[in-house]
Amino acid sequence: MAFLEPSVILMILAANAAVGVITESNAEKALEELRAYQADVATVLRNGCFSILPASELVPGDIVEVSVGCKIPADMRMIEMLSNQVRVDQAILTGESSSVEKELKITTTSNAVYQDKTNILFSGTVVVAGRARAIVVGVGPNTAMGSIRDSMLRTEDEATPLKKKLDEFGTFLAKVIAGICVLVWIVNIGHFRDPSHGGFLRGAIHYFKIAVALAVAAIPEGLPAVVTTCLALGTKRMARLNAIVRSLPSVETLGCTTVICSDKTGTLTTNMMSVAKVCVVESANRGPVVSEYSVSGTTYAPEGIIFDSTGMQLDFPAELSCLLHMAMCSALCNESTLQYNPDKGNYEKIGESTEVALRVLAEKVGLPGFDSLPSALNMLTKHERASYCNHYWEEQFRKIHVLEFSRDRKMMSVLCSRNQMHILFSKGAPESIIPRCSTILCNSDGSIVPLTADIRAELDSRFNSFAGKETLRCLALALKWMPSVQQSLSFDDEKDLTFIGLVGMLDPPRDEVKNAMLSCMTAGIRVIVVTGDNKSTAESLCRKIGAFDQLIDFSEHSYTASEFEELAPLQQTIALQRMALFTRVEPSHKRILVEALQHQNEVVAMTGDGVNDAPALKKADIGIAMGSGTAVAKSASDMVLADDNFASIVAAVAEGRAIYNNTKQFIRYMISSNIGEVVCIFVAAVLGIPDTLAPVQLLWVNLVTDGLPATAIGFNKQDSDVMRAKPRKVNEAVVSGWLFFRYLVIGAYVGLATVAGFIWWFVYSDGGPKLPYTELMNFYSCPTRETTYPCSIFDDRHPSTVSMTVLVVVEMFNALNNLSENQSLLVIPPWSNMWLVASIIITMLLHILILYVHPLSILFSVTPLSLADWTVVLYLSLPVIVIDEVLKFFSRNPIGFRFRLWFRRSDLLPKKDLHEK
């Protein structure tokens, strides 16, 4: 029996430790997944001829040949172009929405970022057009991708705000507990020699055991398990909002986020070029009348509607001559491919994103002559629908000859034949196409009329509007009827063209972004857009989103990376406080931005989807990756947005705030209950009465009966104004002075009620000995003097059972107090959280179980209670609700403001900066 109680204590503690273990994904997996972006093989010049070798064998100085579709095997400088142009998609590295044209010319820009190094091919990027040879200048860790890996290795995980505050609270609590334990031991030094102990040393050991019991009472053993459970519940709720949490503590971090650094490409935008506007000449009979059409749809999916300038939907766009010929030109003068990926459930491109956007436009225009065409197209499978209209035109026309795009011409042409009729289709930069046109195709009747100076001026005006004010990427389309005997093209054929129309395309913003960003601002969260694109393009996108309408201009709110680096330290500090847009950045700049904001005690969330975002995602307080992003970004992040929806962040922030509020509530519940246990033991020691509770009973109350209601408090509903409050300060203590005062008041009552139940059984209970109070206080001298009662009554299990039951029941009532920090139970009734009601019922059933089941009652040193005992338990427990209602009244009403102010002059706990260095 001597080992029974210690064994039970060890088992309970072991169970608690097991519950508190959190299994998290290994963040270092991101480093492994970087390898997926490294090329496996390379075409290398060795021994005077080109051969295919493993990319890992490349060394600086090797000559490598690359072509369309090749993944660049190392950082290389171009030395020879084998085609008219070379374009590379380096979005995973820089975040640029468009492919980048590479050239042989040496970069002369000072402090050049990756985007300025137009003669360098970066490892891991993909060639989308052209063919070239380059010399290797960097391999392995000496590449741009290698620097990302090094940056991630140097990044240490930051502790979350809640973890830091709980650590501070734990340190504070440990000091207080240690002080009280020593105090109790010192206060009882005079009782060490009491005869009941059998000597001074035995007395000292006895009161040391009481001090240990006091520590057991004060330490909330179940707190780690309850915090873990509450955060896990939060992750389930957030998963329903398409926010997949990879690290439990990050659930709460969202609640105090003050700045969201949002990547532009792929996060605020779709990272899919899309035709947004079309400009054609309607008629030239009554002067140059130019019509504009807008096109809906922001992805590569062939789903969208074309609207005229009045906003009316075109039911059959292919009936209009210019739109019909525009679809033909888009399908034929094109070298890209659009396909449906059933594994990912989306449409994907192969080739230039601008060319794919034209293919999608051809699908949206549709085909002529079929009244039921829109519904007929909808009946196709997604695989068939991807390029149905494009395939139709490719079957109608036979390609004879192609003039590829060249940098000097800035255009591409293709000669096609159909029914013995040969047509030249051209597409290219408007400044190259329009001067080569002598006639125009009229949209209204299909007639061809001369291109006059007035019409040319009107087209130039629309082009400047598209490219300037709206920052659209513009292409002009044209055609020319050729002799039926011609079988090839020359550059001289690209003149006297017939202008078809002008298309403006962009990487469009997501539809839901505007409202999401406005919600962030309402909640006191600042949004900074971070992108590798140029300044004007990014500013135009921000205006399109409409989320920065409160800014008159971007002059003091928009900075390029080089502009920011040139500022003096004080100016950088001011700039960080105003910044809304950060452009022309590379991976290191994103990480520097996060660190700088953290130095200003901001809690930073960083969103991103590319490899280039990984270091900043890992460094941020909470990294948020897009579900369609790279595996590297996901592994480096704390949370993944399954729907790529920026708006999901807002819902996740609200959930994070609610979780923190609930966390505060169950901490308040557990600590106030533990204070009651401390008061109980301390008062019993000071009064000199027998031990009210055994250590195993304290552990049972702390872990089992406290744990269920504390966990259920995590199901408290969100406050209605949770997203209208400003983020809490990072140095805000979990327990403020006023709140701790409330803990003390409630805890003092819990402890006194528990001692009162113990004394009641000895002094007043009909089932007890009805001792005089003085006899109870002198119980230790019972063996040395004559008494009218046997000394064995002090070993009776009834009084400690009454005390333990009072403690359990009063804590159940206290759990109801924690449905809200300040709202009355009359406003938020118990049934608003049925999980809490159920947990209280289960807890009471468990307590009754150990009282009335014989083996368990022996384990926990308890005994069954009578109806009279239960009545007294309820009388002693119920007032805790009345006391807390009074304290809540002071908290929410002006009458108690001055009283609360005294406690708020300084938080009880020490304050530390969130980001200590």
Which DSSP category does 285 fall into? B
Position 262 scores a pLDDT of 86
Higher pLDDT, 71 or 377: 71
CA–centroid distance for 215 within its chain = 39
Domain boundaries, the chain: 1-38, 43-154, 243-269+510-644, 274-506, 668-892
- pLDDT number for residue 855: 82
Cα 669 to Cα 665: distance, rounded to the nearest angstrom: 6
- CB 593: neighbour CB atoms within 10 A? 25
The predicted pLDDT at position 13 comes to 52
In the predicted model, what is the mean pLDDT of residues 626-650?
A: 77
Residue 732: predicted pLDDT? 67
Indicate the pLDDT class of residue 898, thresholds 50, 70 and 90. Answer: very low
More confident residue, 62 or 154: 62
Q: Tell which CATH architecture fits domain 274-506.
A: 3-Layer(aba) Sandwich (3.40)
Q: At what angle do helices 535-545 and 513-522 cross, to 10 degrees?
A: 80
Answer yes or no: are the C-beta atoms of 635 and 30 closer than 8 Å.
yes
Give the pLDDT confidence score for residue 234 in this predicted structure.
72
Q: pLDDT tens for residues 166-191? A: 667 667 777 777 787 787 777 777 76
DSSP state for residue 54 in the 8-state scheme: E
Edge-to-edge, what's the strand order for the sheet holding 639-641? 243-245, 639-641, 622-626, 604-608, 259-263, 526-530, 581-583, 558-560
Q: Where are the alpha helices (DSSP H) in 637-777?
A: 647-687, 695-699, 707-713, 737-763, 773-777
Mean pLDDT, residues 298-325? 89
Q: Which CATH number applies to 668-892: 1.20.1110.10, 1.20.1560.10, 2.160.10.10, 1.20.1250.20?
A: 1.20.1110.10
Strands (E), 55-187: 63-67, 75-81, 86-89, 100-102, 120-121, 126-129, 131-138
pTM of the model: 0.64
Could you confirm whether 721 is annotated as catalytic? no
**Mean pLDDT score, 90-101:** 74
Structure-token pair, residue 839: 């947990």
The 10 Å CB-count burial string (b at 16+, else e) for 282-318 is bbbeeebbbbbbbbebbbbbbebebbeeeeeebebbb
- 194 pLDDT more than 70: no
Give the Cα separation of 902 and 57 in Å (integer). 71
Please check the confidence at residue 907 and state whether its pLDDT lies above 50: no
User: What dihedral angle (degrees, nearest 10) is formed by the CA atoms of 245, 246, 252, 253?
Assistant: -110
Q: Write the DSSP assignment of 165-229 as a string of letters.
A: HHHHHHHHHHHHHHHHHHHHHHHTGGGTT-GGGTSHHHHHHHHHHHHHHHHHHHS-TTHHHHHHH
Q: Which amino acid is at 270?
A: T
Looking at residue 304, what DSSP letter applies? -
3-state secondary structure of 115: helix
Specify the pLDDT at position 797: 82
Among 146-150, 214-218, 899-903, which range has the highest average pLDDT? 146-150
* Two structure tokens written together for 761: 């059984």
**Concatenated DSSP letters of 322-352:** HHHHHHHHHHHS---EEEEETTTTEEEEES-
Average pLDDT (659-684) is 78
Q: What is the mean pLDDT of residues 470-494?
A: 89
Rounded distance between C-alpha atoms, residue 511 and residue 270, angstroms:
10
pLDDT recorded at residue 272: 82
Is the model more confident about 531 or about 279?
279
Q: What is the pLDDT of residue 639?
A: 85
pLDDT higher than threshold 50 for residue 915: no
**Closest to 899 in 3D by CA, of 664, 742, 680:** 742
Domain 43-154 class in CATH: mainly beta
pLDDT (average), residues 427-447 = 92
CATH architecture of 243-269+510-644: 3-Layer(aba) Sandwich (3.40)
Q: What is the mean pLDDT of residues 775-792?
A: 73
| Rounded Cα–Cα distance for residues 266 and 95 (Å) | 8
What pairing do the DSSP bridges indicate for beta strands 63-67 and 49-54? unpaired
The pLDDT, as a whole number, for residue 704 is 67
DSSP reduced 3-state for 291: strand
For residues 64-71, average pLDDT:
85
Q: Which two tokens stand for residue 207?
A: 């009161």
Rg (CA), the chain: 37
Sequence-distant (6+) residues with CB within 8 A of 675 are: 218, 743, 744, 746, 747, 748, 750, 751
**pLDDT at 29 > cutoff 50:** no
Closest CA to 212 of 238, 178, 240: 178
**Percentage of residues in the chain having pLDDT higher than 90:** 19
**Interval 790-816: pLDDT, tens:** 777 777 888 889 999 999 999 899 888
How high does pLDDT run on average in the chain?
A: 80
Tell me what pLDDT residue 288 has: 64
pLDDT given for residue 2 in this prediction: 44
Residue 751 in this model has a pLDDT that exceeds 60: yes
- Report the C-alpha gap between 189 and 861 in whole angstroms: 28
Q: Is residue 260 within 8 Å of 521, Cβ to Cβ?
A: no
Q: What is the pLDDT of residue 479?
A: 96
pLDDT in tens, 563-599: 888 889 889 889 998 898 998 887 778 888 998 998 8
- For the chain, give me the number of helices (H) and strands (E)? 33, 29
Between 667 and 580, residue with greater pLDDT = 580
Give the three-class secondary structure for 583: strand
From the centroid of its chain, how far is CA 412?
43
Q: For residue 470, what pLDDT is reported? A: 79
Which comes out higher in pLDDT, residue 628 or 435?
A: 435
- Which residues does residue 42 pair with via DSSP β-bridges, in sequence order? 53
Q: Which of the following is catalytic: 75, 263, 533, 621? A: 263
